[in-house]
Amino acid sequence: MKNLIKNSLVMVVLFTTLLGNANSSLKISIDEKRTTLTLKDVKRGNELSIKDAYGIILYKELIKNSGNYVKGFDLTKLPDGSYFFELNKGLEIKTIPFTVESAVVDFDKEKATTFYKPVVRSVENKIYVSKLSLNKQLLEVKIYYDYNSGSYDLIHSETIEDTVNIQRVYKLSKSEKGNYKLVLKTEGRSFIEYLEF
């Protein structure tokens, strides 16, 4: 238990440091028709996309090399409206909003946000869920058990609110070995994990 608390504190410090450095890892330069996006410390396999205000993906790319990412985009061709770059990496998703109006692109780096994904791990018949939520957004947790080979039934549901550092341990019955599905919902996003005990 002491190790779990110690690891949780290390995670909070790490995420706070990452948040403090979030804007320093981003550079945007705009000339008449070209927007150059520079991201530092990306990893191979991170996913970069451009989405509209409704979340529809307009562009998607898997980053091929670790290190710094530099690419030019002609965003002036987009219809007037609100958009955002989304960088999906490791434990976080970073969004960088921008608007296009009359072929003029405007970024507000102060509105760039970092969303921390929930982390799930399992040991024996226990499921550990942790999530950093600096704005104390609720996390909905649902655990399903596969009683009928492919037909999952809800066995536990919980909504966690008003918590910055969410840490939960769910102990499952040792007599109910099999397949489980964990559905986590927060801030308009869903994450699904399949586990087997």
DSSP state of 20: H
132-151 in b/e burial notation, b at 16+ Cβ within 10 A? bbeeebebebbbbbbeeeee
pLDDT of residue 2: 47
- 91 and 124 part of one domain: no
Q: Tokens in use for 107? A: 């970024």
- Please tell me which residue, 148 or 52, carries the higher pLDDT value: 52
Domain range for 95 is 2-115
Is 55 buried (19+), middle (13-18) or exposed (0-12) by CB count in 10 A? exposed
pLDDT of residue 21: 40
- pLDDT > 90 fraction of the chain, expressed in percent and rounded: 65
- 180 and 136 part of one domain: yes
Q: Give residue 50's identity as a one-letter amino acid code.
A: I
**What are the residues facing 47 on neighbouring strands?**
62, 88
pLDDT of residue 177: 87
In tens, the pLDDT along 66-103 reads 999 999 999 999 999 999 999 999 899 999 999 999 99
pLDDT of residue 170: 96
Q: Per-residue pLDDT for 183 more than 90?
A: yes
- 62 and 9 part of one domain: yes
Domain boundary among 88, 115, 142: 115
pLDDT band at 167 (very low <50, low <70, confident <90, very high): very high
Spatial separation of the C-alpha atoms in residues 158 and 55, rounded to whole Å: 27
Provide the number of structural domains found in the chain.
Answer: 2
pLDDT of residue 5: 42
Spatial separation of the C-alpha atoms in residues 69 and 38, rounded to whole Å: 6
Domain boundary among 53, 86, 115: 115
Q: Per-residue pLDDT for 191 more than 90?
A: yes
Locate tokens 């692109």: which residue?
105
For position 182, which CATH number holds?
2.60.40.730
Spatial separation of the C-alpha atoms in residues 148 and 99, rounded to whole Å: 49
Q: Tokens in use for 181? A: 């599905």
- 130 and 102 part of one domain: no
In tens, the pLDDT along 104-163 reads 999 988 889 989 999 999 998 999 999 999 889 999 999 999 987 778 999 999 999 999
- 53 and 84 part of one domain: yes
In tens, the pLDDT along 6-30 reads 444 334 333 333 333 444 577 888 7
DSSP state of 124: T
